[in-house]
């Protein structure tokens, strides 16, 4: 596979699916699958650093995950806190900055404190930006943006006619980041599950049957190879793209 950075995505978004099924196939509790999933994320982040991918966004906990059994929710939140406390020093040492996107108020105070601490500690790092979407949903983010713009209109700070796609995008949680070039979902499902609804408009969508705990460097390279073979047209014809690339 080529190391040409022009053929690699600048921003990868991942739905890490399959932890529970991975555990079930081995006769293990779901907690074991989630713990292996943390190891898989570590491997993906390390390989993304090696491949010089600037941004990786992962869907760690959706706004719909609160519907899961209370015991599993508690386990996920405990694992979230444990992983933060264990991994942040290593991430910081390797130049990874952490950012968390989502509604934090629903999380326990200790977890909110750990999130703020991790963001502050790693804020100056520039090797890779790891964005953790937690208690996040695309519809939540769009609704939040609409509310923010409506408040501006109500306060007469802007006129309705000023609202366009560019203004709207500035009120989304990912406003300061480039849109994902590559979306990866593991575990065999082929849907985006309320993840980055606005930002995925022109993203290349890659689905794999590999369960998340088994998704490592080789699996990521397979996705990157697939991406490198895609022609991204953004509404243009193939001829137009080829002419622009040849210019």
Domains defined for the chain, CATH in brackets? 8-235 (3.40.1180.10)
**Mean predicted confidence (pLDDT) in 4-24:** 89
Over residues 186-200, the pLDDT tens digits come to 999 999 999 999 999
Q: How many CB atoms lie within 10 A of CB 22?
A: 24
Q: DSSP 3-state assignment of 184?
A: strand
Reading across the β-sheet that carries 55-62, which strands appear in turn? 96-101, 128-136, 55-62, 11-15, 182-185, 204-207
Three-state DSSP class for residue 243: helix
5 has pLDDT over 90: no
Q: Which of 74, 69, 81, 90 has the alpha carbon at shortest distance from 112?
A: 81
pLDDT at 218: 97
So what's the pLDDT on residue 3? 47
Identify the pLDDT of residue 1: 42
The per-residue pLDDT for 61 is 84
Mean of the pLDDT values across residues 19-39?
95
Percent of the chain with pLDDT over 70: 91
Range of weakest confidence among 54-58, 105-109, 212-216: 105-109
- Report how far residue 181's alpha carbon sits from residue 178's, in angstroms, rounded to the nearest whole number: 8
Instruction: Please give the pLDDT value at position 7.
Output: 86
> Chain-wide mean pLDDT for the chain?
92
Could you give the CA distance from residue 214 to residue 47 in angstroms, rounded to a whole number?
A: 14
User: Is the whole model's pTM more than 0.95, yes or no?
Assistant: no
Confidence of residue 240 (pLDDT cuts 50, 70, 90): low
Which value, to the nearest 10 degrees, does the dihedral of the CA atoms of residues 198, 202, 206, 212 take? Answer: -30
Per DSSP, the three-state class of 130 is strand
Whether 75 has a pLDDT exceeding 90, the answer reads no
Question: What positions carry a catalytic annotation?
Answer: 17, 65
Residues 73 and 81: their CA atoms lie apart, in Å, by 12
Q: Look at residue 20 in the predicted model and tell me its pLDDT.
A: 93
Concatenated DSSP letters for 4-21? -GGGS-SEEEEE---HHH
Handedness of CA 181, 91, 46, 44 (dihedral sign): negative
Share of the chain above pLDDT 90, in %: 79
CA-closest candidate to residue 202, choices 183, 185, 221 = 183
Q: 175 φ, ψ to 5°? A: -55, -35
């Amino acid at each position: 596979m080529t190391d040409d950075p022009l053929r690699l995505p600048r921003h990868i978004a991942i739905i890490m699916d399959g932890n529970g099924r991975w555990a079930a196939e081995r006769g293990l509790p779901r907690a074991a699958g989630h713990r292996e999933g943390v190891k898989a994320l570590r491997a993906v982040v390390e390989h993304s650093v090696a491949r010089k991918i600037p941004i990786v966004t992962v869907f760690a906990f959706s706004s719909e995950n609160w519907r899961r059994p209370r015991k599993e929710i508690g386990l996920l939140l405990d694992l979230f806190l444990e992983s933060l406390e264990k991994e942040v020093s290593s991430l910081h040492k390797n130049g990874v900055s952490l950012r968390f996107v989502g509604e934090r108020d629903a999380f326990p105070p200790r977890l909110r404190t750990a999130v703020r601490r991790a963001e502050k500690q790693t804020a100056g790092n520039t090797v890779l930006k790891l964005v953790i979407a937690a208690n996040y949903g695309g519809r939540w983010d769009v609704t939040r943006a609409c509310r923010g713009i409506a408040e501006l209109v109500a306060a007469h700070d802007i006129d309705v006619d000023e609202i366009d796609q560019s203004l709207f995008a500035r009120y989304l949680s990912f406003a300061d980041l480039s849109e994902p070039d590559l979306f990866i979902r593991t575990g065999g499902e082929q849907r985006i599950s309320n993840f980055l609804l606005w930002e995925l408009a022109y993203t290349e969508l890659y689905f794999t049957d590999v369960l998340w705990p088994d998704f490592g460097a080789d699996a990521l390279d397979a996705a990157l190879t697939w991406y490198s073979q895609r022609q991204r047209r953004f509404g243009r014809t193939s001829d137009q793209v080829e002419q622009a690339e040849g210019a």
